[in-house]
Amino acid sequence: MSAALLEGKLIAESLKAKIKLEVEALKSKYGKTPKLVAIQVGDNASSSVYVKAQKKAAEAVGIVYELKIISDTISQPGAESMVKEMNKDGSVTAIILQLPVPKGIDAKKLINLIAPSKDAESMTPENLGKIVSGQYRIGPCTAMAVMELLESAKVDLYGKEAVVVGHSEIAGKPLALMLLNKFATTTVCHIATAERGRLLEHVKRAEILIAAVGKAGIIKGDWIKDKAIVIDVGINKVGERIVGDVEFGAASQKASYITPVPGGVGPLTTTILMRNTLELFKAGLK
């Protein structure tokens, strides 16, 4: 058997079309357009890739996008002032801080300063906390992209055995909360699970497997349960190739659905950023 592909690229296209329509409708109704400001501190090759993708996605859906690059010699208070200024600026409806930031700048402190009502990545404590209580329309982009992929495959999560590998703040932990909100029985594994030699047994019983570790091929293809749904969040560079956390070839022989890497979760995250921006804008109109 060979798994069906869950291609984030395709889902992103249809999602962008929906966002575009809504942005246009709101513009004609209220005469206003969402504006996303990206703050980038210093120069960074990976940031440059991201901001390019963000700009393109914003243009595609009709969201105004502005990149503010500040010098990497800026002080922490200087960077904080920039965030505060954007919070106050009435024309700015959403803010994203590009990561990484240079050494000496405390990214977490900057993120926590972003007004929750403008927090496009949904990484402030207030927006993360709303996920605990299940009342949220925005969420961390990677976690939301995974949920979107599961929905696109019409996966009924109720009572399913879901296993998340990786317990990061942007993926594993919010994902666990989202899966619980949908009544999946949810297990989160991580480095300590692997060290204890227990990763294999958890992966083997997973009906829904989400890998969000960031280590090429750490999950072997023959560990995958028959007909499992496999979502691979990992984006790892091996020589010139980009691969996921799961051994794709062997895994796709066992899974019923699997995300390719690249082309799976990745392309969808930028679209979710646009959807978050739209949702924040709509909440601000009320």
Stretch that binds its own copies, among 5-13, 61-69, 118-126, 252-260 (CB under 8 A): 118-126
- Burial environment of residue 181 by CB neighbours within 10 A (0 to 12, 13 to 18, 19 or more): middle
Please identify which residue in 16, 35, 118, 167 interacts with its own copies, judged by CB under 8 A: 167
- Work out whether 187 is an interface residue with its own copies (CB under 8 A): yes
73: its two tokens: 């010699």
- Work out whether 188 is an interface residue with its own copies (CB under 8 A): yes
What does the chain come to in residues? 286
Binding marks (x or -) toward its own copies, 65..104, rule CB under 8 A? ----------------------------------------
- What is the DSSP code string of 217-261? T-B-GGGSPTT-EEEE---EEETTEEE-SB-HHHHHTT-SEE--T
Please identify which residue in 34, 62, 139, 174 interacts with its own copies, judged by CB under 8 A: 174
- Write down the least CB distance from residue 130 to its own copies, Å: 5
- Work out whether 236 is an interface residue with its own copies (CB under 8 A): no
- Work out whether 234 is an interface residue with its own copies (CB under 8 A): no
Residue 136: CA count within 13 A, CB half-sphere = 29
133: its two tokens: 């209580």
- Closer to its own copies at the Cβ: 55 or 182? 182
Please identify which residue in 40, 47, 93, 124 interacts with its own copies, judged by CB under 8 A: 124
Q: Are 95 and 83 in contact (CB under 8 A)?
A: yes
Please identify which residue in 185, 220, 250, 263 interacts with its own copies, judged by CB under 8 A: 185
275: its two tokens: 């959807």
Residue type at 67 in one-letter notation: L
Residue 175: CA count within 13 A, CB half-sphere = 33
Stretch that binds its own copies, among 44-52, 56-64, 164-172, 271-279 (CB under 8 A): 164-172
Measured CA to CA, the distance from residue 138 to residue 117 in angstroms comes to 10
Please identify which residue in 16, 35, 173, 225 interacts with its own copies, judged by CB under 8 A: 173
- Work out whether 141 is an interface residue with its own copies (CB under 8 A): no
Q: How far is CA 11 from the centre of its chain?
A: 14
**Which chain residues interact with its own copies by CB under 8 A?**
108, 124-135, 158-159, 161, 167, 169, 172-174, 176-177, 180, 183-193, 195-196, 198, 202
